[in-house]
Structure 1
Amino acid sequence: MKTWLFLLFAFLIPAFVFAQKNVIPASQIPALNLKLPEGSKQDKRFLSTVAAASLLETEVGDPNVSISEVEVYMLPPTPQSGFDAEVLVGELEKSGFEILPTEDDRIAWLVKGQTAYLIYFSMDKAETNFYLGKSNTVPKPTQSQQVQQGVPTSPQPTVPAYIPPLPPSRSSTSPSVNQQAPAPNPPASSLSPAQNPSSNSSLPKTPVAPFTGFQFTTSNFDDGWISSIQSDWVLAQKGETKVYLFFVLPYRSENFSGTGVMDRDFYWDNHVAPTFNTTTKAYQDGGEFVSSMQPKYVEGWGLDPQTGQRRFLGMYLTVSPNAAMLTVASTVDENSMRQIFPKASDRWTSDLVAMSRYNKFAIGPNDLNGTWQSGGSQMTQWYDSFTGAYAGATIASSSATFFFTGPTYSSIHNGATGAVGAMNTFQQEYKGNSTISNWTITLTNRYLGKTQQFDAHFQAVKGGRLLYLNNGAGEEYLLVKIR
């Protein structure tokens, strides 16, 4: 009998990425009256638009300017479509837009009357990426903009072009790709939600970002750590020690393959150094000279961005496919860093990576009203161990959608498993009552009519929240609100 050998790779799609139906064909961008080349697509997935908004907002230095109605488009590569920067400029000018360039030649302002958009246009080898967001105000042209016109024309390595979904390593239950397993989450009973951070003198002094629509923006943990949501990160603070859990950033492996640039240096130089005004830079490689085996850790002296005090910083970079997460610890001196985070630079069990467990926030009674969704799939390819011939593939996929309305809920669960071409599918629907407390959700009339209790909390992402549910009996979800 033939023995089938399981191939040692599997293609994983993160559980919280929307179904493929949210990536749809697009023939034009109505807001710009711009016709797109054949084969273009619009990515309507929530996390993709949030990440694109984050990229655009980095260009806006004025706190009075906000970007909304962000749209993400993927165009065929320029050699295939013929759609390059020159064509884009011509079409936009035909539509009556004035083009104001920025310092990044892939980003520009489009102005027509009292309407303004910020766009990102990058021609890459595999595809052309186009993002746009509507501004709440018309930007004032700088002196250089008054004598220039143009749009992004050539790629630069400073900001990777691909906008990834949120990676699984930010989940408290999913290990990161490089197997840095975070410490277990504190139990729900050990937390107490805080509605008004300013009322507690021990809370971080940094202003909390106004994430409207959710009751809690601060969590007090019984081990002394206090977490609060900021505009670009979650800030965890205990005494004089601060840890910045940056929201997900784009990551492109081709920027670091054969280029001589190490990813840890790139993210320190482009994100940590300007934020903390660093003055030194060092590593803790333990004598390892093979770059691929060195920990993604960098440290040095810098300044607290809020107080201006001199601080010792340690950064650990965690990488998932197309996504980067930065954890930056800030202590009063180097000795404090060594004492508080003795394994900060450990390649497998870094203390800094484990701090992601403090991105955890309570749920208010009215926070869940609406529709929350998750979905994902896993495929395994099989080969004959004797002949090496391809023997087919098996796939498992599932999706879950929860609808919360006041004290009631409904949920629909779909899935498919089996060999490609001979799939078995299922659908299960539940309806009942929901009881929401800060750290648990109780749902009636689940499987066989039983009542189930889920551990529940929010994880903060740029511009919103993810809802984590786990009933301890095999049902675990990371959901994003779609409406």
Structure 2
Amino acid sequence: MRLFTLVQLSLFLLFASQSVCAQSKLTETKQSSVTGLALPDGSKQDKRLLSVSAAKAVLEMVSKKSGATIKNTEVLSLPPVTANNFNVELLKNHLQQNGWTITPVDGEPQYLWLEHNGKTVLVYFSNDKKQTNLYFGEASNTPVVQPVNTGNTQQSTQPVQQQTTQQEQTIPQQPVYSPAQPATNGYQFTSTNFDDGWTS
């Protein structure tokens, strides 16, 4: 019985020491080591293996579409936007002031590609109620990035609308034929499928 208690106690101490060790890998930081971006007070860098691996996977979902691989990942946890007004627009402004060229990722509003002095970085930014997540992933190669159309969408869609109306006018109308009801003497059966697997 004492051996069982001793094993339980040693397992508890092992898990407790790992928990303390894991918390020590969550350190306060004032600046991003990947981009040099100054961070708001209360920002923390998460160096835990599981957090870094998960952030790298999130970044690689987008980087692989551009043919790039992520080699170095930085995981930052910032206070919520309500505490310091640090939102995506402020992030973009600070990055541009530091000399980074920003390219939005088409169809992915939480991601940005950054380029500065031959260094390419993919950014993931999300605001939650309790914190703001900011991931930087340094790309090992230059991605193939499609430029996002940021022009006036009204002007670009107007010629398309005119073109479709001209096409509609030139297409001859095909007559529509409805099937004739068969003449029946006696019983008539119909079946209906309600997309639930049953027919009646």
Match of 1:106 in 2: 110
Match of 2:55 in 1: 52
Shift in Å at residue 65 of structure 1? 1.9
CA apart distance, 1:64: 4.7
- Return closer, same or farther for 1:19/1:101 CA change in 2, 3 Å cut-off: same
Match of 2:144 in 1: 140
* Greater RCO, CA 8 A, separation 6+: 2
Query: Which structure shows the bigger proportion of residues in strand conformation?
Result: 1
Superposed displacement of residue 62, structure 1: 4.5
Normalization by structure 2: what TM-score? 0.62
Q: Does 1:24 align with 2:27?
A: yes
Matched, 1:39 2:42: yes
Structure 1 residues 106 and 64, CA gap change in structure 2 (3 angstroms): closer
1:360-412 CA-partner distances (Å, limit 9, x unpaired): xxxxxxxxxxxxxxxxxxxxxxxxxxxxxxxxxxxxxxxxxxxxxxxxxxxxx
In structure 2, the CA distance between the partners of 1:64 and 1:122, relative to structure 1 (3 Å rule), is: closer
> Structure 1 CA distance, aligned partners of 2:145 and 2:62?
14
Structure 2: unaligned runs, 5 residues or longer: 1-14, 152-195
Question: Any conservation in 2 of the 1:121–1:131 contact (CA below 8 Å)?
Answer: yes
Superposition deviation, residue 138 in structure 1: 2.1
The alpha carbon displacement at 1:128 in A equals 0.3
Verify the 8 A CA contact 1:27 1:37 in the aligned structure 2. yes
In structure 1, what is the equivalent of residue 193 of structure 2?
none
The aligned residue for residue 135 of structure 2 is 131
Structure 1 alignment gaps of length 5 or more: 1-14, 149-281, 283-483
Give the match for residue 10 of structure 1. none
Q: Does structure 1 residue 97 correspond to structure 2 residue 138?
A: no
Residue type of the alignment partner of 2:78? L
Distance 1:30 1:142, change over 3 A: same
SS at match of 1:106: strand
**Which residue does the alignment assign to 1:260?**
none
2:26·2:46 contact (CA, 8 Å) conserved in 1?
A: yes
Q: Does 1:119 align with 2:123?
A: yes
Question: Which is greater in Rg?
Answer: 2
* 1:109 partner amino acid: W
More helix per residue: 2
Q: 1:81 aligned to 66, 81, 84, which one?
A: 84
Q: CA deviation at 1:100?
A: 1.1
Shift of 1:63: 8.2
Query: SS of the counterpart of 1:125?
Result: coil
TM-score, reference length from structure 1: 0.27
Question: Counterparts of 1:65-80 in structure 2 under 5 Å?
Answer: 65-80=68-83
User: In 2, Cα distance between the equivalents of 1:19 and 1:31?
Assistant: 22
1:61 to 60, 64, 81: 64
Q: Equivalent residues in 2 for 1:231-270 (5 A)? A: none
CA distance in structure 2 between the partners assigned to 1:89 and 1:63 by the alignment: 21
Query: How many equivalent residue pairs?
Result: 136
Identical amino acids, percent of aligned pairs: 34
**RMSD between superposed Cα atoms in Å:** 2.5
Please give the secondary structure, in 2, of the residue aligned with 1:59.
helix
Confirm or deny: 8 A CA contact 1:116 1:138 kept in the other structure: yes
